[in-house]
Amino acid sequence: MAGSSPLHHFQGIATLSASPQQTVQVGEGLVVLTQDDALVDTLQVIGSGHDVFTVSAESDLAAHLLTEHTGVAILDAGAIASPIERLTERLKAQFPDLVLIVAGGVDDQSALATQITNGTVYRFLHKPVSEQRVKLFVDAAWRRHDEAHAGDTVFANTPRGGERLGLGSNMLLLGGAGIAAIVLLGSWLLLRKPETQPVQAPATGSTEVAVPAAAHDAVLEGLLDSADRALESGALVAPPGKNAADLYRQAMQRDAHDPRGGNGLEKVIDRLLSGAEAQLLAEHLDEARKLTEQARQIKPDHVRVAFLMAQIGKERERAVLAQARQAASSGNIEQALTVLDGAALDGHRSTLVSEARQELEQKKSDERVRDYVSRANDRMRRGLLLEPTQDNARFFIESARALAPNDSEVRQAQRQFLDRLATEARKALAAGNADQGERWIQAAADAGADRDDITALTREEQRVRTAAKTDALARLALLFNQRLTQGKLLEPASDNAKFYLTQLVQADPTHPSTELAGQAFAARSLEEARNAVRRQDYAGAQRWLTEAHDSGADQTSINAVNSDIRTAQDTTKRATEFATASSLELTHYVPPDFPSVARQRAISGWVDVQFVIRTDGSVTDIAVTGAEPVGLFEQAATDAVHKWHYRPVMRDGQSVNQRARLRVRFALQHDR
């Protein structure tokens, strides 16, 4: 495939099909059905010995599989519209040699539980994915694919890209990779069986059919049945004599020509190695090694055993060397040596660890110092001065200084690093970012920058911070004044005058802008309190007085409004109290009519009424509160009172409404 990157985007270009007589040599690729950029980026980072194609829809996937030679497929459940279990079943039925990996969540794994168990789905990859897990699964899938085709294709071992271990040498890693390749190739040659001649079918007309002897061997069938049950229950290698591995071996010894024993043993190995891979992913190296050793005891030359042992050894070395590198980078060489002295891999000291120890003893080694300086310069070119952790310019320069503090190249890298820190500090300050500038200045000071340079940068940082504070206060004051003018004193939340006043107080309580805003808000709160008094909203007036007090209003003004509230409340109370009508001056009286029914029957009685005397002396809001007898004199009483007039009631020089009560009596001996 053309292009500098191994990750290609499939464009739907069809390829010509070869005739049945032709053999087309096509490199097998890996196809990824996903819309997740993070998964695509991860595949690109880990690299691959195979071409990788990405498709974003199921229709593109089908077209690709029909036109391209694909060995492994990764299906992202998030990019699939149909049920994932149906798609995998269809793919496996149409492309039985395709090794499937599914990426998704817990629900997707549950939906695929049966297919994961029966091997339709080779591995399930939980999202979000990690580079280590993706690489391990993809490599394992290609091994599964290569093993399935070992009898049909020429064995090829494509080198995988590896990372450099911190304290080891590249030559040793290359040697280790060569040994691993030889082990894999030797394992494949041992595993490969010569092609056998097909069994001749019986001649036409024959009445006898050859039946394997094992079909009639009850002992063999019992062994295989016990082995299958042990396999299903997880008794792979224990207890002795009753585990799946021992029982399948006994079946093979019973009848070497029956393939079921060998196939069962392969299932045991697959279970063990799959468990080992899972433990390796979880970084449980001892458990992964234990399971792999159990598989090796069953079949020492198994390809997956050799690969996993190499992976486990690599992870052990990486952990030890990372710990030693951390100690060495911080200048603690003795601790790093102690770590390496205690490291033992596969029962003997690793050559890589021994070499690392020699390098530590010669801490001024030019190769190591040059490596750190080279990495530091690379990180500076890429702008990685302080991040990411343990992969930045500062980390590698400090590592080099720990080994060779007086080396000329180390000192030059240190000077360049300090210049870059100062430059970044000035850029941040020029952009008005005082916090970012302070971070760069602190980093420069920690790295040993000149004291005068740090003083000058700090002075500039303080100037920028002061200017930024002034600008922020001006902006808050503007917003406060706008909301105050708009009448948005308390609403809406987070965008009102009180909110911006609070921000001003938090920024600088003694700043003139803050004090002026506080005075303005206090005055406006007092005004709102007076307005509430006029509306007879005394609770609202008290709330505004609280706002005025909190914003610094003087106590004299607050007391004055409180006095207004009390006076208004007294006035309102008096207005709602009932006065006896006889105590008021009646200026126009109309006697009530004596009902004819009462007169004929010579019935006397009374009616209690309440009413309001308006500011003009008229009567309104008449209500009957009692009568004797009930239902006889009420209408006559209310009709008469409605026509009465009183002299208006005066309070504080103003006429006010006044509630009054009166008993209107009805007696034959009186006109009234």
As a whole number of angstroms, the distance between CA 631 and CA 611 comes to 19
Q: Which residues contact 7 (CB under 8 A, 6 or more apart)?
A: 40, 43, 44, 52, 54
Q: Which CATH superfamily is domain 7-16+26-132+139-155 in?
A: Response regulator (3.40.50.2300)
Going by C-alpha positions, the residue among 469, 482, 496 that lies closest to residue 551 is 496
- At residue 117, the pLDDT reads 74
Place of tokens 């003018």: 485
Among 117, 44, 115, 36, CA closest to 77 = 36
Return d(Cα 279, Cα 133) in angstroms, integer: 11
Cα–Cα distance, 180 to 67 (Å, whole number): 34
What pLDDT, on the 0 to 100 scale, is given for residue 347?
A: 53
pLDDT in tens, 587-631: 999 999 999 999 999 999 999 999 999 999 999 999 999 999 999
pLDDT of 504 > 90? The answer is yes
Rounded to two decimals, the pTM is 0.33
| CA–CA dist 289, 313 (Å, integer) | 9
Q: Give pLDDT, residue 339.
A: 77
Kindly state the average pLDDT of the residues 12-21: 32
| Ranges of each domain in the chain | 7-16+26-132+139-155, 362-449, 469-574, 577-666
Q: Which of 609, 586, 610, 597 is nearest to 668 (CA)?
A: 597
Q: Cβ neighbours of residue 189 under 8 Å, at least 6 residues apart?
A: none
CA 103 to chain centroid, in Å, comes to 18
Cβ density class 561-580: b for 16+ within 10 Å, e for less: bbebbeebeeeeeeeeeebe
Element (H, E) at 30: strand 29-33
For the chain, the average pLDDT equals: 81
Residue 27 has pLDDT above 90, yes or no: no
Return the closest-CA partner of residue 384 out of 361, 410, 355, 417. 417
Local confidence band at 575 (pLDDT 50, 70, 90 cut-offs): low
Q: Give the per-residue pLDDT at 350.
A: 67
What average pLDDT score do residues 312-326 get? 81
- CA 208, chain centre distance (Å): 69
pLDDT at 14 over 50: no
Higher pLDDT, 258 or 93: 258
Between 66 and 321, the higher pLDDT residue: 321
192: nearest Cα among 249, 143, 154: 154
* pLDDT score, position 314: 79
Asked if the bond preceding 194 is cis, omega within 30° of 0, the reply is no
Give the mean model confidence (pLDDT) for residues 475-500.
Answer: 93
Residues 6+ apart with CB under 8 A from 240: 246
- Beta strand 605-613 pairing with 658-666: antiparallel
Q: What is the DSSP string of 194-224?
A: ---PPPPPPPTT-------GGGG-HHHHHHH
Higher pLDDT, 304 or 94: 304
What is the pLDDT, as a whole number, of residue 434? 92
Measured from the Cβ of residue 251, the count of other Cβ atoms closer than 10 Å reads 27
pLDDT at 5 over 80: no
Which amino acid belongs to residue 533?
V
Cα–Cα distance measured from residue 551 to residue 294, given in angstroms and rounded to the nearest whole number = 78
pLDDT value for 240: 93
Contacts of 383 (CB under 8 A, 6+ apart): none
Alpha carbon separation from 634 to 309, 612, 641, 672 (Å, rounded): 110, 17, 11, 15
Cβ 109 vs Cβ 126: under 8 Å:
yes
SS3 241: coil
- Of the two residues 164 and 501, the one the predictor is more confident about is 501
Q: Which two tokens stand for residue 223?
A: 């062994």
d(CA 370, CA 481): 63
Contact (Cβ atoms closer than 8 angstroms) between residue 632 and residue 616: no
CA distance 425 to 431: 10
DSSP 12: -
* C-alpha angle 431-432-436 in degrees, rounded to nearest 5: 90
When pLDDT is cut at 50, 70 and 90, the band that residue 140 belongs to is confident
Give, as one character, the DSSP assignment of residue 21. T
Selection from 308, 343, 284, 317 nearest residue 173 by Cα: 317
Give the SS3 label for residue 538: helix
Residues pairing with 623 in the sheet:
610
**Tokens describing residue 139:** 């490599």
Place 337 in a pLDDT band, splitting at 50, 70 and 90: confident
Dist. CA 411–CA 278, nearest whole Å = 46
Tens digits of per-residue pLDDT, 148-178? 765 443 333 333 333 333 444 443 333 444 4
Class of domain 577-666: alpha beta
Q: What is the pLDDT of residues 274-292, one digit of tens each?
A: 999 999 999 898 899 999 9
Band of residue 48 on the pLDDT scale cut at 50, 70, 90: low
